[in-house]
């Protein structure tokens, strides 16, 4: 898209103002020329803003081009993770596992090269709602554990600075005393 040169437009305006003075153009014609100039400047600014918008959108599209593919591969990555949690029961299964671990590592390395970041919280990390999703709340009487991760169910993933999927975690919550038990205890005390 050709960018309108503002200096050129200003020169044209000055030329027209000079012609107005020389030819003694009517006030109405002069105002029309000024209106045309104002509209031309507004159009130029609009086109420049539009050009910047489309450039920004294009850059985002390039930056996140692999997002769709990564989203389709997440169930495969999850299946690998679930399979690796169980121990093989024979020597043959152990050899297959080594091969599958190698394939998994190759797949992860390829995706990391595309900008993928794996989010794996640790047990007892503070719950972070920006990158984690509570799958289950585990009640505890220990107040020091409240709002901390008790178990990681699914890894989370980011593509560059965009969250693709939060980590699925179990989180400790404070166990509330049952109202009936509290009343019974209070009655016994009184």
Extents of the domains making up the chain: 6-63, 67-174
Between strands 167-174 and 132-140, the pairing is: parallel
Give the separation between CA 90 and CA 161, rounded to whole angstroms: 42
Residue from 175, 119, 122, 172 nearest 148 by CA: 172
What CA–CA distance (Å, rounded) separates 162 from 35?
46
> Into which CATH architecture does domain 67-174 fall?
Roll (2.30)
Task: State yes or no: pLDDT of 150 exceeds 90.
Answer: yes
pLDDT tens, residue by residue, 96-129: 999 999 999 999 999 999 999 999 999 999 999 9
Mean residue pLDDT across the chain: 86
Q: How far apart are CA 91 and CA 131, in angstroms?
A: 38
Question: Which pTM does this prediction carry?
Answer: 0.66
Burial class (CB in 10 A: 0-12, 13-18, 19+), 155: middle
- Res 77 pLDDT > 80: yes
């Amino acid at each position: 898209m050709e960018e309108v040169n503002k200096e050129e437009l200003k020169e044209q305006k000055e030329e027209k103002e000079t012609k107005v003075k020389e030819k003694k153009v009517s006030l109405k014609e002069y105002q029309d020329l000024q209106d045309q100039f104002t509209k031309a400047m507004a159009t130029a600014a609009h086109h420049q803003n539009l050009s910047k918008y489309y450039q920004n959108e294009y850059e985002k599209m390039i930056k996140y081009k692999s997002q769709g593919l990564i989203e389709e591969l997440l169930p495969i990555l999850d299946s690998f993770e679930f399979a690796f949690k169980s121990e093989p029961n024979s020597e043959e299964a152990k050899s297959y596992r080594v091969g599958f671990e190698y394939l998994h590592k190759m797949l992860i390395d390829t995706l990391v090269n595309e900008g993928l970041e794996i989010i794996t919280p640790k047990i007892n990390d503070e719950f972070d709602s920006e990158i984690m999703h509570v799958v289950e709340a585990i009640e505890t009487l220990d107040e020091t554990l409240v709002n901390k991760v008790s178990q990681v169910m699914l890894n989370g993933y980011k593509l560059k600075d965009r969250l693709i999927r939060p980590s699925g975690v179990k989180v400790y919550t404070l166990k509330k005393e049952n109202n009936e038990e509290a009343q019974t205890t209070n009655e016994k005390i009184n």
